[in-house]
Homo-oligomer: A and B are copies of this chain.
Amino acid sequence: VGKSVDPRLIRSREAILTAAKELLRKHGPPAVTHQRVAAQAGVGRATVYRHWPQPEQLRLEAMAGLGLPFFRDPIVPVRPWLHGQLRYYADEMAMPEVVSVALILFQRAKDPAVAEAGRQFRSATTDRVRTALDLAITHGELTLTIPREDAAARLVGPILYQAWIQIDVVTDDLIGRLIDGIGTWS
């Protein structure tokens, strides 16, 4: 940044972002509104609007700071953990506030910061699912019956389809069938 920036603006930006991450972590994306973030940060609503005219942008930056919340830290036995994570993913993807942020991440963004956040979120999803399945394979819990590189797409893809295209409930039974569809679980 070549030109000097008012230090009060930088401070308010950081305070707002900290408040947004706090609300996001505790109450999820719908809580990240201009009004609640302003109250939490102790600034006026106009100040929040000045930095982030759209709530999606603020949610996106807060989410990028927290990192992708799904498929983190797998534990053995992997199957119930994976079921819980897919359940959580399905529930989040059914929330309009999450969809609006996710859709920004799917586009080839012009803003380099948004493009990089999108790239990280996307690759993290696949990498983490693979790490979890590797753990299950190592522990003798899973024998894959499909190529390893298909697994993330065949677990997560149908959930996205169900939530976004079919606009239908993702049942626990469907999640169970998707998990069974990738291999033999002991």
Contact = CB atoms under 8 A, between A and B. Distances in A.
Interface of A: 96, 99-100, 103, 106-108, 122, 125-126, 146-147, 150, 152-154, 156-162, 164-167, 174, 177-178, 181
Contact of A107 (B99, B146, B153, B166): B99
Nearest to A181: B181
Contacts of A160: 157, 160-161, 165
9 closest A-B pairs by CB: A157-B161, A157-B157, A157-B158, A153-B158, A153-B161, A122-B165, A103-B103, A153-B162, A154-B158
A152 B107 CA distance: 24
- Tally of this chain's copies: 2
Contacts of A166: 122, 126, 152-153
A167 B122 contact: yes
A122 B164 CA distance: 8
A150 B158 contact: yes
Contacts of A178: 154
Contact of A150 (B122, B125, B147, B174): B174
A127 to B, nearest CB: 10
Contacts of A157: 153, 157-162
A167 B156 CA distance: 14
B103 A165 contact: no
Contacts of A167: 122
Contacts of A181: 146, 154, 181
Contacts of A156: 161, 165
B125 A96 contact: no
Given A161-B157, A165-B126, A103 B107 contact: yes
